[in-house]
Amino acid sequence: MQSIDILLIEDNPGDVELTRESLNGSKIKNSLNVIMDGEEALDYLFQRGQYDLAKLPDLILLDLNLPKVSGREILKEIKSDAARSSIPIIVLSSSEAASDIQRSYQLHANCFVTKPVCLADFLTVIQMIEFFWIDIVKLPMKDAIQ
């Protein structure tokens, strides 16, 4: 089985560590890259500046509320770019607002998951995301999206 490259775009260090911890126990080989602000995430995803050699991820976990550029704007930019639009994006947000959920899907998020407050529940959610998006779903071939 090939390695899965996951990009976590998240500004909360605690959520980054919990996600990393949950994915480290995975039976699937994966690499987790973390970007903590929206502007840097766009540079990474569009391979600009220091990220000119960055490898596009197989899967993106995206928080909505980020410094500099919002997750909504990142979602809009990626899903409107032909070379990147097929990368699955999972919005992973603390928001439960109907407007955030609706807007995320209008911008073509592949799914919207509300982050649980409880530590054990958060770890379970990450494991369920991993199980569904890595074990069950067939992701686009890397060569097809670059």
CB 45 within 8 A of CB 74: yes
Confidence bin at 27 (pLDDT 50/70/90): low
Distance CA(1)–CA(132), nearest Å, equals: 16
Q: What per-residue confidence (pLDDT) applies to 134?
A: 73
Topology of domain 4-132 in CATH is Rossmann fold (3.40.50)
Confidence of residue 146 (pLDDT cuts 50, 70, 90): very low
Q: Is the entire prediction scored with pTM above 0.75? A: yes
Runs of H (alpha helix) within the chain: 13-24, 38-45, 71-79, 98-106, 119-130, 142-145
Greater pLDDT, 140 or 86: 86
- CA dist 69 and 58 (Å) reads 22
pLDDT of residue 118: 81
